[in-house]
Amino acid sequence: MAGTDYSAELNKAGANATGVFGQLRFLARSYPLGAIGAAIMVLFVFCAIFADLITRFDPLSTNAAISLARPGGQHWLGADFMGRDVFARLVYGARISLAVAISCTAIGSILGIAIGLAAGYLGGWVDLLTQRLTDIMQALPLLVLALVMSAALGPSLRTTIIAISIPLVPYSARVIRSNTLAVREMAMVEAAKAVGMSEFRVAVRHVLPNTIAPLIVLATAQFGSTILTEASLSFLGLGIPEPYPSWGRMLSESAAEYIRTAPWLVIFPGIAISLVVFGTNLLGDAIRDLLDPRQRG
């Protein structure tokens, strides 16, 4: 339904160019804030993919001669207390942050889809059990639950992904469940059962595709919160360990001791975290408006 409305609206707008570029121009005019958010995310994705080409400095190599060097010259954003290039660590840190965010969002969404679809479609004791478990998990905020799991499992890249993915599951499960409860009562589901399709095939082929649109919006919002949670865990020493460059760890190493003498060590990682979270929120709002006809003017 949303795709049909969008196509009709695009044809009505009469874009000058056809194809993908014409649609992109139309989307940029219709959702300028969403376009800004998409541009920010494209920039960070580009930095993460081509980090080796963007900077010639190794984010892990130290040089005592340039310790706490000010921004300028060869080191655009300065150097930290160990003589490591801040710009190189920011660029490579984008790779770590985006990899963690994509992994956590994907794992949380996949598990949430499986649990929510089973609970909403089967109902009964399956629904009752899963809802009580999700209630227990949602009783604690995302960051608190991630802190508990990281402290129990120890800081590592794999632990950070697990600690952030699991708390995301109940949110995705609730979205899928609520939409499944509505879709399973539709005539197409009854018709599929009448022709002899198995319950599993009906759920996967007819129910699941009609519940994904709200999850896309939720996943976009979770993407930004995942990056912020990873930075918080790394700041507290429970996230990405050395030698991986992480924006949160960059703040943790510099915030307390160098905030006055070398403020660039705190400002630039903070700006990077703020921009990527801001960009995902803008993009998520635009996707919500695009997929929900009631939100479009």
99-156: pLDDT as tens digits: 888 899 999 999 999 999 888 888 888 888 988 888 888 888 888 888 888 888 888 8
195-206: pLDDT as tens digits: 878 878 888 888
pTM over 0.95: no
CATH number of the structural domain 31-295: 1.10.3720.10
Q: What is the C-alpha radius of gyration for the chain, rounded to an integer number of angstroms?
A: 23
At residue 150, φ and ψ (nearest 5 deg) are: -65, -40
Segment among 128-142, 162-176, 229-243 with least mean pLDDT: 229-243
At residue 75, φ and ψ (nearest 5 deg) are: -105, 95
pLDDT tier at 6 (50, 70, 90 boundaries)?
very low
What is d(CA 26, CA 9) in angstroms, rounded to the nearest whole number? 10
| Domain chopping of the chain, boundaries | 31-295
Long-range contacts made by residues 53-61, C-beta under 8 angstroms, separation at least 24?
54/91, 55/85, 55/87, 55/88, 55/91, 57/84, 57/85, 57/87, 57/88, 58/85, 58/88, 59/84, 59/85, 59/88, 59/89, 59/91, 59/92, 59/93, 59/245, 60/84, 60/243, 60/245
